[in-house]
Amino acid sequence: MSVRIRLQRHGRKQSPLYHIVIADARAPRDGSFIERIGVYNPMTKPATIDIDRMKAYEWMTNGAQPTETVRAILRFKGVLYYKHLQRGVSKGAMTPEDAEIKFRAWVDAKEARIQERVKATAEERKERAAQISGSVKKVVKKKVETPVEDELLSVDLAEQAAAETAADADVVEAPEVVVAEAPAEETPAVEAPVEEAPAAETPAEEANTETTPEAW
């Protein structure tokens, strides 16, 4: 049985929420699944991803194949990095303790960056609400720099998730609306008086007469 790690769409129209599930590759998009290992919400800023890293790693080592969007999520959450470290342990390049220390340091740094972005977004919303209410003047603040890869990832993940789930959904064509044309009003034609042009007098051509000398 071919097993996939993929997204399962939930939520409302234009407000999607995705479950990260382990499912049979032959199962329908929103059908039955084997296990749910996480949630992905692209509507928040930044996008919210809650996933069990160890469960995802175990399923990948057992042969489960993630979709392109889920692979990007696993890379963002460090599952692929953890798999890389474990490969180094199996080859003897490092000890399991060293691999665990490196992974913990990576996760802590990543989570700190995410929390900074969440805090900056909350402050921006608070200032925008205050400006709308007119209680304070507009204040120009230095924008918190967010790594470009994190910004692009949130956009790419949302677009890829919508594309993957839309590929399996039924497409309903909207009925064609026929707009009846209003009959055009006929405007009576006004005949303009036609003036008869005087016939141009053509001067008669004068015949050229040749004078023939009389014969002597």
CA distance 15 to 41: 9
CA distance 120 to 114: 10
Return the pLDDT at 13: 85
Is the CA virtual torsion 87, 92, 96, 102 positive or negative?
Answer: negative
Which tokens is 204 given? 């008669």
Return the pLDDT at 209: 42
Return the pLDDT at 165: 66
Contact status, residue 74 vs residue 66, Cβ threshold 8 Å:
yes
Q: What is the pLDDT along the chain (216 residues), one digit of tens a residue?
A: 689 999 999 888 888 999 999 999 888 877 889 999 999 998 888 888 999 999 999 999 999 999 999 999 999 999 999 999 999 999 988 999 999 999 999 999 988 988 888 888 888 888 888 888 775 555 555 555 555 555 556 656 767 776 666 665 544 444 444 444 544 455 444 454 445 544 444 444 444 444 444 443
Return the pLDDT at 74: 94
Return the pLDDT at 212: 44
36: β partners: 21
Half-sphere exposure of 140 (CA within 13 A, CB side): 0
Which CATH number is 3-168 given? Answer: 3.30.1320.10
CA distance 11 to 19: 10
Return the pLDDT at 167: 61
Which residue ranges make up each domain of the chain? 3-168
CA distance 21 to 146: 29
Contact status, residue 106 vs residue 81, Cβ threshold 8 Å:
yes
Q: Tell me how many helices (H) and strands (E) the chain has.
A: 5, 5
Return the pLDDT at 15: 87
Return the pLDDT at 148: 52
